[in-house]
Amino acid sequence: MTYTVKAEGICKSFSGHPVLDQVDLAVETGSVLALLGPNGAGKTTMVRILATLMRPDAGTATIAGHDLRTDPVGVKQSISLTGQFAAVDEKLTGRENLEMMAQLLRLSRMAARARASELLAEFDLADAAGRRAAKYSGGMRRRLDLAISMIARPPLVFLDEPTTGLDPRSREQTWSTVRRLAEDGVTVLLTTQYLEEADQLADTVAVLDHGRVVARGTPDELKARLGAEVVRLQFADPAAYQRALRGLDPVRADGRLRTIDVATEGTAGEIFHILGRLQEAGAPAHKVSTYRPSLDDVFLSVTGAAQDGSAAQGGPAAQDGSAAQGDPATQAGSDARPGSAAQHEVKEMAR
Ligand SMILES: Nc1ncnc2c1ncn2[C@@H]1O[C@H](COP(=O)(O)OP(=O)(O)OP(=O)(O)O)[C@@H](O)[C@H]1O
Ligand SMILES: [Mg+2]
């Protein structure tokens, strides 16, 4: 197996506050790795370090065969980075943007023109080539930005939140662009807040929390950690909900909707057992449904607990059984208390 990114023991502190603490990250050549994590987890810091824009306090990394410390120029020549601050010049047309950047990269006028045409076609911008970038939609601008970053055909692309702020259609278009890059053998390291995005694009996911990698694996491996089915229990009144909460180890819980989601293997016996125990404890479930775990559930279970010793609390609990989307950072709540004595008690109870 060859790795385009291999970073070990990366540490970074700001004013004595550790932001990255011994982070190891490996991205296989030609694969897509999604770096997930709540706001402030250190994703952008990690990307900036790997892209030579910031020096780590400790740790080593090899990027496309170049040592980050001893050959930052080699690293720089092997990568492109698109982040929040796009390289797009709004006064120029899409084609002019590409040709100008190509010439800055020392392509001849003719070569620049040819490369611009290629990229305009590749990124679905041929029809808009003559329009000023100021008139582009958010999605088109993002694609133009990506196209600019691909002028030099780098083997590694960093995408820091490539679809934040895009509407669903533009997001889909950006996803297919990223997929196409990956199909062409480009290695991609992206950060995202959208778990669905990681699920759609990533071969491997690494979840950062408090500057440490708290989970890694393929999306399917991570989901398998939570068992086969998540059982959603709904309670008729707040008292029953609170009593049940004390005993269960939820993936998420929503006090407003009085729902508690618990990871299970999905066997009838296991569910029957949980329901029986709840009944005995005077906290009978009113309604029960099940759904397959999503990456959101994994994210909430691995980052929620690490954040404040509480399990994740639900966002909008979807009644169709799909997991809640949205800003994961806001979903880490404090309703549930895994690890507490009471919790242990009902875990026993649920057994
Ligand atoms: N140049 C800097 N100086 C001081 N603190 C910084 C600097 N850059 C980042 N930080 C801090 O480091 C922490 C991690 O920031 P970072 O931008 O890497 O997080 P992130 O995971 O990308 O978050 P988000 O999801 O909001 O983009 C934050 O607490 C941030 O305030
Ligand atoms: Mg960031």
Average pLDDT, rounded, for the chain: 82
CB atoms within 10 A of CB 126: 14
Per-residue model confidence (pLDDT) at position 274: 93
Which ligand is in closest contact with the Cα of 38?
1
Tens digit of each residue's pLDDT (9 = 90 or more) over 104-113: 888 999 999 9
Q: Say if ligand 1 is within 6 A of residue 19 CB.
A: yes
Instruction: Report the separation in Å between the CA atom of 346 and the middle of ligand 2, taken as the mean of its atom positions.
Output: 38
Say if residue 317's pLDDT is above 60: no
Residue 144 φ/ψ region, left for φ over 0, alpha for ψ in the -120 to 50 degree band, beta for the rest: alpha
Say if residue 303's pLDDT is above 80: no
What architecture does CATH give domain 3-88+136-222? 3-Layer(aba) Sandwich (3.40)
Task: Tell me the pLDDT band of 344, cut-offs 50, 70 and 90.
Answer: very low
Instruction: Report the separation in Å between the CA atom of 162 and the middle of ligand 2, taken as the mean of its atom positions.
Output: 11
Q: Say if ligand 1 is within 6 A of residue 41 CB.
A: yes
Which residue is it, tokens 């040709």?
Answer: 99
Tens digit of each residue's pLDDT (9 = 90 or more) over 240-297: 999 999 888 888 899 999 999 998 888 899 999 999 999 998 999 999 998 888 877 7
Q: Say if ligand 1 is within 6 A of residue 255 CB.
A: no
Instruction: Report the separation in Å between the CA atom of 349 and the middle of ligand 2, taken as the mean of its atom positions.
Output: 41
DSSP one-letter code for 329 = G
**CA pair distance 292, 133, nearest whole angstrom:** 42
Say if residue 326's pLDDT is above 70: no
How much of the chain exceeds pLDDT 90, in percent? 51
Q: Where are the domains of the chain?
A: 3-88+136-222, 225-350
Tens digit of each residue's pLDDT (9 = 90 or more) over 190-221: 998 888 888 899 999 999 998 999 989 998 88
Per-residue model confidence (pLDDT) at position 163: 85
Nearest CA to ligand 1 atom 13: 40
Which pair of tokens denotes residue 54?
């910031």
Tens digit of each residue's pLDDT (9 = 90 or more) over 252-263: 899 999 999 998
Strands laid side by side in the 58-63 sheet: 17-28, 3-14, 58-63, 66-67
Nearest CA to ligand 1 atom 26: 39
**CA pair distance 237, 258, nearest whole angstrom:** 7
Nearest CA to ligand 1 atom 17: 44
Which ligand is in closest contact with the Cα of 45?
1
Per-residue model confidence (pLDDT) at position 337: 31
Residue type present at position 30: G
- Bridge partners for 11 per DSSP: 58
Q: Say if ligand 1 is within 6 A of residue 44 CB.
A: yes
Which ligand is in closest contact with the Cα of 12?
1
CB atoms within 10 A of CB 286: 13
Task: Tell me the pLDDT band of 176, cut-offs 50, 70 and 90.
Answer: confident
Residue 139 φ/ψ region, left for φ over 0, alpha for ψ in the -120 to 50 degree band, beta for the rest: alpha
Per-residue model confidence (pLDDT) at position 286: 95
Which ligand is in closest contact with the Cα of 328?
1
- Asked if residue 145 lies in contact with residue 179, where contact means CB atoms within 8 angstroms, the answer is no
Closest atom, ligand 1, to C-alpha of 41: 21
Per-residue model confidence (pLDDT) at position 25: 96
Tens digit of each residue's pLDDT (9 = 90 or more) over 76-87: 889 988 764 467
Q: Which segments of the chain are extended strands (E)?
A: 3-14, 17-28, 32-36, 58-63, 66-67, 79-82, 156-160, 187-192, 204-209, 212-217, 229-235, 252-254, 259-264, 285-291
- Between 349 and 12, whose confidence is greater? 12
**CA pair distance 272, 181, nearest whole angstrom:** 48
